[in-house]
Structure 1
Amino acid sequence: MEAGPRRDPDPDPAHRNGPGQHQDQLEAQQQALVEHLKERGFLRTARIEAAFRAVPRHLFLPGVPSEEVYRDQVIPLKIVDGVCISSSSQPAIMAIMLEQLGLEPGQRVLEIGAASGYNAALMAHILGESGTIVTIDIDEDLVEGARAHLEAAGYRQVHVICGDGAQGYPPAAPYDRIILTVAAGDIATPWYEQLKPDGRLLLPLVLRDAQFSVALERRDDHLESVSVRFCAFMMLRGPFAEAGGIFALGPRTEASPALQLRLNNYQPVDVTALYRDLAGPWYDLPSGVLASLHEVHYGFNSWLSQQEPTACSLVAQREHPALTELPWLFKVAGLEARATIGIVADNHVALLALPPGWRVPASGASQSGQVACEIMVRCFGGAEYLARRLLSLLRSWDTAGRPASWLLMPGDDRLRLRVYPLHVPCPEKPTPERLIFTRRWSRLVIERQA
Structure 2
Amino acid sequence: MTDTDRRAAYVEEIRRGAPLSDELARAFATVPREAFVGRGFQDRHGRWTKPGDPGFLDAVYRDDVLVTKVDHRVPISSSSQPSLMAIMIEALEVEPGMRVLEIGAGTGYNAALLATLGASVISVDVQADVAARAASALTEAGITGVRVDHGDGYAGAPGHRFDRVIVTVGVGGLSPRWLSQLDPGGVAVVPVEHAGTHPVLAVRGTADGPVTASVVCPSGFMSASGPLTAAHQFAHPAPAAPGELAALREEKGPRFDPPLGALGYRDLWYAAGVWHRRATHAAIPGVDQNCLMLLDEDRTGGAAILPDGAILSGGAEPERWANDALDILKRWDAAGRPPMRAWQVTLALNGLPDAPIWVPANWSL
The TM-score range, normalised by the shorter chain, is: 0.7 to 0.9
Task: Kindly provide the amino acid, as one letter, of the partner of residue 178 in structure 2.
Answer: W
- Aligned partner of 2:45 in structure 1 is none
Mapping for residues 63-74 of structure 1, pairs under 5 Å: 63-64=50-51, 65-74=56-65
Instruction: Give the direction of change, closer, same or farther, for the CA distance of 1:414–1:442 in structure 2 (3 Å limit).
Output: closer
Q: Does the alignment pair 1:126 with 2:87?
A: no
CA distance, structure 2, for counterparts of residue 402 and residue 76 of structure 1: 35
Of 6, 10, 16, 1:33 maps to 10
Give 1:98 deviation, angstroms: 0.9
Q: Does the alignment pair 1:377 with 2:304?
A: no
Deviations 1:358-415 (A, max 9, x none): xxxxxxx977x74x66x2224xxxxxxxxx6x864644666x69624479x8423323
Of 230, 234, 244, 2:218 maps to 230
- Aligned partner of 2:362 in structure 1 is 445
Q: Does the alignment pair 1:352 with 2:339?
A: no
Assess if the C-alpha contact under 8 Å between 2:102 and 2:165 holds in 1. Answer: yes
Give 1:306 deviation, angstroms: 6.2
Of 201, 209, 216, 2:203 maps to 216
Q: Does the alignment pair 1:413 with 2:363?
A: no
- Aligned partner of 1:101 in structure 2 is 92
CA distance, structure 1, for counterparts of residue 157 and residue 320 of structure 2: 48
Task: Kindly provide the amino acid, as one letter, of the partner of residue 251 in structure 2.
Answer: L
Give 1:41 deviation, angstroms: 6.4
Task: Kindly provide the amino acid, as one letter, of the partner of residue 6 in structure 2.
Answer: Q
Gap runs ≥5 in structure 1 = 1-23, 248-259, 264-277, 317-327, 355-364, 379-387, 424-438
Of 114, 119, 127, 1:139 maps to 127
Aligned-partner SS, 1:135: strand
CA distance, structure 2, for counterparts of residue 299 and residue 133 of structure 1: 33
Task: Kindly provide the amino acid, as one letter, of the partner of residue 50 in structure 1.
Answer: R
Assess if the C-alpha contact under 8 Å between 1:330 and 1:339 holds in 2. Answer: no
Task: Kindly provide the amino acid, as one letter, of the partner of residue 346 in structure 2.
Answer: R
Task: Kindly provide the amino acid, as one letter, of the partner of residue 377 in structure 1.
Answer: G
- Aligned partner of 2:180 in structure 1 is 193
Task: Kindly provide the amino acid, as one letter, of the partner of residue 72 in structure 2.
Answer: D
What TM-score does the superposition give when structure 2 sets the normalisation length? 0.74
Between 84-93 and 186-195, the greater mean CA deviation after superposition = 186-195
Aligned-partner SS, 2:170: coil
- Aligned partner of 2:24 in structure 1 is 48
Of 290, 300, 311, 2:251 maps to 290
Instruction: Give the direction of change, closer, same or farther, for the CA distance of 1:153–1:397 in structure 2 (3 Å limit).
Output: closer
Deviations 1:245-282 (A, max 9, x none): 699xxxxxxxxxxxx9439xxxxxxxxxxxxxx99xx9
CA distance, structure 2, for counterparts of residue 165 and residue 216 of structure 1: 17
CA distance, structure 1, for counterparts of residue 179 and residue 105 of structure 2: 20
CA distance, structure 1, for counterparts of residue 184 and residue 9 of structure 2: 39
CA distance, structure 2, for counterparts of residue 112 and residue 79 of structure 1: 19
Aligned-partner SS, 1:170: coil
- Aligned partner of 2:151 in structure 1 is 163
CA distance, structure 2, for counterparts of residue 222 and residue 411 of structure 1: 25
Between 297-306 and 233-242, the greater mean CA deviation after superposition = 297-306
What TM-score does the superposition give when structure 1 sets the normalisation length? 0.62
Give 1:91 deviation, angstroms: 1.1
Task: Kindly provide the amino acid, as one letter, of the partner of residue 47 in structure 1.
Answer: E
Instruction: Give the direction of change, closer, same or farther, for the CA distance of 1:117–1:78 in structure 2 (3 Å limit).
Output: same
Give 1:156 deviation, angstroms: 3.9
Assess if the C-alpha contact under 8 Å between 1:211 and 1:230 holds in 2. Answer: yes
Give 1:237 deviation, angstroms: 2.7
- Aligned partner of 1:174 in structure 2 is 161
Instruction: Give the direction of change, closer, same or farther, for the CA distance of 1:377–1:226 in structure 2 (3 Å limit).
Output: closer
- Which one has a bigger Cα radius of gyration? 1
- Aligned partner of 1:359 in structure 2 is none
Q: Does the alignment pair 1:203 with 2:190?
A: yes
Aligned-partner SS, 2:186: strand
C-alpha RMSD over aligned residues: 4.1
CA distance, structure 2, for counterparts of residue 145 and residue 300 of structure 1: 39
- Aligned partner of 2:78 in structure 1 is 87
Aligned pair count?
332
Aligned-partner SS, 1:68: helix
CA distance, structure 2, for counterparts of residue 304 and residue 44 of structure 1: 30
Task: Kindly provide the amino acid, as one letter, of the partner of residue 199 in structure 2.
Answer: F
Assess if the C-alpha contact under 8 Å between 2:175 and 2:357 holds in 1. Answer: no
CA distance, structure 2, for counterparts of residue 213 and residue 292 of structure 1: 32
Instruction: Give the direction of change, closer, same or farther, for the CA distance of 1:136–1:396 in structure 2 (3 Å limit).
Output: closer
Q: Percent identity?
A: 26
Assess if the C-alpha contact under 8 Å between 2:164 and 2:182 holds in 1. Answer: yes
Aligned-partner SS, 1:106: coil
